[in-house]
């Protein structure tokens, strides 16, 4: 298991757990970041933060600070 920012561009992982206060966990759930969702790193912003992730079929920009709280199981290539 690793956190979302540990994935490289093009890599994918399955969301295992979201850490943080209940309100933040609920916020991410409302945006489709739930256990079992597939997250793929699409691209980083020009200055490296935020990073664009494809979570299931939607694109979401997530700051590194927040992405560190999203734990994933890296998919094998």
DSSP letters, 35-71, are TT-EEEEEEE-TTS-SEEEEETTEEEEE-HHHHTTEE
| Sign of the torsion angle spanned by Cα atoms 46, 32, 4, 73 | negative
Q: Parse the chain into domains and list their residue ranges.
A: 2-74
Output the CA–CA distances (angstroms, integers) from residue 18 to 22, 46, 48, 68, in the order listed: 10, 26, 22, 9
pLDDT tens digits for range 14-32: 999 999 999 999 999 999 9
pLDDT of residue 66: 93
For the 2-74 domain, the top CATH level (class) is mainly beta
pLDDT tens digits for range 18-69: 999 999 999 999 999 999 999 999 998 888 799 999 999 999 999 999 999 9
Q: What is the pTM of this model?
A: 0.90
């Amino acid at each position: 298991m690793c956190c979302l920012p540990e994935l490289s561009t093009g890599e994918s992982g399955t969301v295992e757990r979201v850490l943080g206060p209940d309100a933040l966990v609920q916020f991410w759930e409302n945006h489709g970041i739930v256990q079992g969702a597939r997250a793929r790193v699409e691209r980083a912003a020009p200055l490296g933060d935020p990073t664009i992730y494809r979570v299931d079929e939607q694109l979401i920009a997530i700051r590194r600070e927040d992405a560190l709280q999203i734990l994933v199981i890296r998919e094998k290539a």
